[in-house]
Homo-oligomer: A and B are copies of this chain.
């Protein structure tokens, strides 16, 4: 008899507070024998690994998958191939694998590349995803502000890549979320200053994590040394 192939579950684990995982995500992490997550940088624990620590046991097999932080397509593809082979080793034995993903699994997630590579190499694998708490919503919650109301348009922009497009977006959006804002912060600050919008912008660094930090009164902060996990929300006034 042929062993059935296991299922790959992409489990969103939320933004930092371990209790912000969904009940479904927690249940799957506790049931599934093999738990995969992105390997941390410089020997440190990665964020997803840290978040799920309270929910898993030493008995479960852990797969530390390597996803490099770089733009080179060739090296990225090599990493995705290797990660998908690592996961396949367990799936083809009929074992399910849960991949723990910080934030939401569909929202700018490395999981997508793993899933696409795996599907291409092994189309027989079933892949399921469990949605979760994403950083814009966690950021708004920490600020104690609504993200959006009623008829408001929302723009979400990975600022690292698209900071130049801010002008186009300003004409249209009511609320703007800038992800990956740390490396272009000064540029964003200058733009907001020129538009007299500094009092409408807020930053949360590491929302819902132990080291969470809120920045407001940005007028006083033309430069900031922010972590990668920093989200800015700009509330525009449209009269």
Which residue of A17, A145, A154, A165 has the most chain B CB atoms within 10 A of its CB atom? A154
Please report which residues of chain A, range 94-118, place their CB below 8 angstroms from some CB of chain B when the two chains form the complex: 104-109, 112
A152 at the interface (CB under 8 A from B): yes
A53 at the interface (CB under 8 A from B): no
Q: Kindly identify which residue among B21, B140, B161, B173 contacts A151, using a CB–CB cutoff of 8 Å.
A: B161
CA distance A152 to B148 in the complex (A): 20
The closest CB in chain B to the CB of A112 belongs to B146
A19 at the interface (CB under 8 A from B): yes
A133 at the interface (CB under 8 A from B): yes
Residues of B within 8 A of A15 (CB): 131
Interface of A, secondary structure class, is: mixed
- Cβ of B24 and Cβ of A149 under 8 Å apart? no
A130 at the interface (CB under 8 A from B): yes
- Give the distance to chain B from A115, nearest Cβ to Cβ, in Å: 9
Q: How many copies of this chain? A: 2
- Give the distance to chain B from A140, nearest Cβ to Cβ, in Å: 4
Residues of B within 8 A of A148 (CB): 106-108, 156
Residues of B within 8 A of A160 (CB): 151
Q: Kindly identify which residue among B130, B140, B149, B156 contacts A131, using a CB–CB cutoff of 8 Å.
A: B140
Residues of B within 8 A of A145 (CB): 106
A168 at the interface (CB under 8 A from B): yes
Residues of B within 8 A of A112 (CB): 146, 149
Residues of chain A touching chain B, judged by Cβ–Cβ distance below 8 Å, are: 12, 14-15, 17-24, 26-27, 104-109, 112, 127, 129-134, 137-138, 140-141, 144-158, 160-162, 165, 168-169, 171-173, 208
Q: Can you spell out 18 A-B residue pairs with CB atoms less than 8 angstroms apart?
A: A15-B131, A17-B24, A18-B23, A19-B22, A19-B27, A20-B22, A20-B131, A106-B137, A106-B141, A108-B149, A131-B140, A131-B208, A132-B133, A133-B133, A152-B158, A154-B155, A155-B172, A168-B171
Closest 4 CB pairs of A and B: A151-B161, A19-B24, A106-B140, A154-B156
Beyond the given A104-B133, A131-B140, could you list 5 further A-B residue pairs with CB under 8 A, ordered by the A residue number? A19-B22, A107-B147, A112-B146, A131-B138, A148-B156
